[in-house]
Amino acid sequence: MSAVFEIHNLAKFHWEAGEQGADRYLFSHIAAEITQPERVALIGASGQGKSTLLRILALLDIPDEGDLLLNGTSYTISNSREWRMAVAYVAQQAVMLPGSIEDNLRTVSRLHGQPYDAVLSAKLIEQLGLDHLDLAKKAEDCSGGEKQRISLIRTLLLRPSILLLDEATASLDVDSTRKVEALLLNRHKEEGTTLIWVTHDLEQAHRISNRTWVMEEGGLQEYSSTAYYDRTVEGAVHS
């Protein structure tokens, strides 16, 4: 089976790296492939470059070495706007654009010349528990958790095939977190959306993933499941 998304020997230098030596790399030799819709938990200690990796996958940053292929085509010869529609990034800190909530939700349609899908928008708003909001409300006046969910809806309106989530529930209470998880798991099941989800919560990683990528010591290790990763770590600790 041909890969939908491929990561080949990706590397990123430290921002203040010298010209020689291993210390110049934030991470290097990152390699993975996705051949079918997946649910990937991306975990690891702070400072390993998880957010930077997601931004590179979305072409919001550029690797210093290596290549990315989407449906067999390198990012170097791809249309960056079309790439970002297919491989979409949701930041941990949601940025609201000037204007109302509805203005923000319509932004992706205006930017990409697509009709605004009001039906899908209303469905996502209800599923994420935001149907109490007046869409004419200034987006900047929303709470942090509301902004985070609005940002997610705005991205989902692109109908991406790969969704990159950078701690997408960090500002949410338990109830809202579970609504987001349920929605995204359903998108994976019904739409075939691949989820690559940075989380520091191993319990959440268990709930949302079927594969686990662990960033540590400048590299990427892959495990078939978060449960297997837990057992490996526990065995190492007690050995």
- Inform me whether the pLDDT recorded for 235 exceeds 50: no
> For residue 155, how far is the Cα from the chain centroid?
10
Distance from C-alpha of 124 to C-alpha of 224, rounded to nearest angstrom:
31
Work out the average pLDDT over 52-64.
96
Q: Which of 7, 3, 2, 1 is nearest to 164 (CA)?
A: 7
- Predicted TM-score (pTM) of this structure: 0.90
CB 167 within 8 A of CB 198: yes
Which of the pair, 122 or 235, is modelled with greater confidence?
A: 122
pLDDT for the residue numbered 237: 29
Task: Name the DSSP letter for residue 15.
Answer: T
* pLDDT, tens digit (0-9, with 9 covering 90-100), for 182-205: 999 999 999 999 999 999 999 999
pLDDT for the residue numbered 225: 62
Work out the average pLDDT over 73-81.
95
Work out the average pLDDT over 212-239.
66
